[in-house]
């Protein structure tokens, strides 16, 4: 990960890095602060699964716009069930997301069967309620983004 991308993203988002959280297949993630708010800054990788990831504005805006819509829909269904804050920036020079920090992860290895069952039940309830929230998009299926039509189903 280029330190210049992290510096550019933190300056653009006006945040202060607290700690490196880790990396997934497609992004690096940092816990950051903006005032008293704890957030997560994610920056896309240049290489994923051993292959270069070329910049693709439409794909990034579809992915991040879909995430924003999903979080908003989940929170309409069950307040606070998804990050309350989600913003993203996509340009040829810089791409990142910024969202509410959800806290420490659950240690699934030490979770009892009863607790795991309860967690699954609560997550299922959130999904069922979210499915009832109208999304307001045209089309269906995978999401795409274009300058002319914005976010929509393929």
pLDDT tens figures, 45-88? 999 999 999 999 999 999 999 999 999 999 999 999 999 999 99
- Give dist(CA 1, CA 60) in Å, integer: 18
> Residue ranges of the domains in the chain?
3-153
Farthest-apart Cα atoms in the chain, separation: 50
14: phi > 0 → left, psi -120 to 50 → alpha, else beta; which? left
pLDDT tens figures, 5-47? 999 999 999 999 999 999 999 999 999 999 999 999 999 999 9
- Give dist(CA 133, CA 79) in Å, integer: 13
pLDDT at 119 > cutoff 80: yes
- Give dist(CA 99, CA 86) in Å, integer: 4
């Amino acid at each position: 990960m280029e330190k210049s991308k992290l510096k550019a993203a933190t300056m653009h988002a006006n945040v202060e890095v607290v700690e490196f959280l880790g990396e997934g297949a497609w992004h690096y993630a940092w816990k950051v602060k903006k005032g008293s708010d704890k957030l997560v800054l994610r920056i896309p990788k240049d290489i994923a699964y051993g292959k270069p990831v070329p910049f693709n504005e439409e794909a990034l805006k579809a992915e991040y716009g879909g995430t924003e819509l999903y979080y908003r829909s989940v929170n309409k269904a069950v307040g606070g069930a998804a990050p309350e804050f989600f913003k993203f920036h996509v340009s040829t020079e810089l791409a990142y997301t910024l969202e509410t920090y959800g806290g420490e992860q659950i240690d699934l290895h030490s979770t009892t069967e009863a607790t795991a069952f309860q967690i699954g039940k609560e997550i299922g309830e959130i999904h069922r309620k979210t499915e009832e929230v109208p999304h307001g998009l045209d089309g269906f299926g995978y999401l795409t983004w274009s300058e002319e039509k914005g976010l929509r189903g393929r």
